Amino acid sequence: MKIVVLDGYTLNPGDLDWKGMEAIGECTVYDRTSLTDVQEAIDRIGDAEVVFTNKTPMPKELFDACPNIKFVGVLATGYNVVDVAAAKEKGIPVTNIPTYGTAAVGQFTIALLLEICHHIGHHSQAVHEGAWENNADWCFWDYPLIELDGKTMGIIGYGRIGQATGRIAQALGMKVLAYDSYHNPDLESDTCKYAELDEVLANSDVIALHCPLFPETQGIINKDNIAKMKDGVIILNDSRGPLIVEEDLRDALNSGKVAAAGLDVVSTEPIKGDNPLLQAKNCFITPHIAWAPKESRKRLMDIAVSNLQAFVDGAPVNVVNK
């Protein structure tokens, strides 16, 4: 069995291995494959029966040109890069990794929040540059410092990752308002309750986005919804960039309506130089790394291998195009 990994570098930049896949078949791994030149992907796949992709597109023309494909594994949760309908027509199962980074992403959400509250990176750099040594007082701070105890975090999307974030927020003394189409009453307590979106917007000191990108959630953070928020709200997003209308958030940050934003995702990735958020005040942007601790990537790798082995055994799992 020939296996091709089209873009394996982000999953495994060298600190993991491909032994699990190599045990199943002849495995060829490419660090990157063109996102725009479909022919490059077609040439690399050749007569392979198994293809893994992370962000390299697999449109219908690719499936037409590579008739030997029997299985596609997406090395991520989202699978929009694959024409799953075209694969289904040809009887090709497409699998994804439904959950692997729950703890990592919840942790990163809080890391963004704590950086906004304390500006730890800035103050550490200031100390190394001599600002403390030359300070007239025994301490100093260059930004307002924020205590989270007693404040309210609104979480839009209260699935596994939203709940992970909520647990940490409650451990910090925060109250949680959760907005989700599905309510699990077992999760409600004195410090956590479900609420309608407008209530979340109006009563939260911090708003964290953990919802999928659907037509009804695209642009959910827009000027109209921002107007419903508290003055000085903090917005966090390490879910999907298009959940935010970036021009509207830029304007709200620059006006002070939104005090700060912590973002691990943007509308187009890698970020473009003309992204409006690059002109926003108090906007912390990281390069889509919430998912990327080694432990999380190892879990992803193990699930990808398990998905392939289940297919080989005749009982595929995590199939998104049944």
Q: What pLDDT does residue 164 have?
A: 98
- pTM score: 0.94
Residue 322 is assigned to a structural domain of this protein: no
Instruction: Please give the structure tokens belonging to residue 321.
Output: 């195009």
Co-location of 201 and 127 in the same domain: yes
Q: Give me the domain span that covers residue 13.
A: 2-100+294-312
Identify whether the C-beta of residue 77 lies closer than 8 Å to the C-beta of residue 57.
Answer: no
Residue 135 is assigned to a structural domain of this protein: yes
What whole-number distance in Å separates Cα of residue 7 and Cα of residue 11?
Answer: 8
- Do you find a cis peptide bond into 270, omega within 30 degrees of 0? yes
Report the domain count for the chain: 2
Residue 19 is assigned to a structural domain of this protein: yes
**Residues annotated as part of the active site:** 240, 269, 288
Identify whether the C-beta of residue 208 lies closer than 8 Å to the C-beta of residue 182.
Answer: no
pLDDT tens sequence for the chain (322 residues): 999 999 999 999 999 999 999 999 999 999 999 999 999 999 999 999 999 999 999 999 999 999 999 999 999 999 999 999 999 999 999 999 999 999 999 999 999 999 999 999 999 999 999 999 999 999 999 999 999 999 999 999 999 999 999 999 999 999 999 999 999 999 999 999 999 999 999 999 999 999 999 999 999 999 999 999 999 999 999 999 999 999 999 999 999 999 999 999 999 999 999 999 999 999 999 999 999 999 999 999 999 999 999 999 999 999 999 9
Residue 317 is assigned to a structural domain of this protein: no
Co-location of 77 and 133 in the same domain: no
Residue 318 is assigned to a structural domain of this protein: no
Co-location of 135 and 37 in the same domain: no
Q: What pLDDT does residue 31 have?
A: 98
Of 290, 265, 303, the residue nearest 101 (C-alpha): 290
Co-location of 8 and 57 in the same domain: yes
Residue 319 is assigned to a structural domain of this protein: no
Co-location of 137 and 259 in the same domain: yes
Q: What pLDDT does residue 186 have?
A: 97
Co-location of 158 and 271 in the same domain: yes
Q: What pLDDT does residue 270 have?
A: 96
CATH of the domain at 42: 3.40.50.720
The conformational region for residue 119 under phi > 0 = left, psi -120 to 50 = alpha, else beta, is left
Q: What pLDDT does residue 276 have?
A: 98
Co-location of 31 and 106 in the same domain: no
Co-location of 261 and 306 in the same domain: no
Q: What pLDDT does residue 138 have?
A: 97
The H-or-E segment that residue 107 falls in is helix 102-118
Torsions phi, psi of 205, nearest 5? -85, -30
Instruction: Please give the structure tokens belonging to residue 122.
Output: 């800035």
Co-location of 77 and 224 in the same domain: no
Co-location of 160 and 308 in the same domain: no
Residues in Cβ contact with 125 at an 8 Å cutoff, skipping those fewer than 6 apart: none
Co-location of 26 and 143 in the same domain: no
Q: What pLDDT does residue 65 have?
A: 98
Q: What pLDDT does residue 24 have?
A: 98
Co-location of 20 and 84 in the same domain: yes
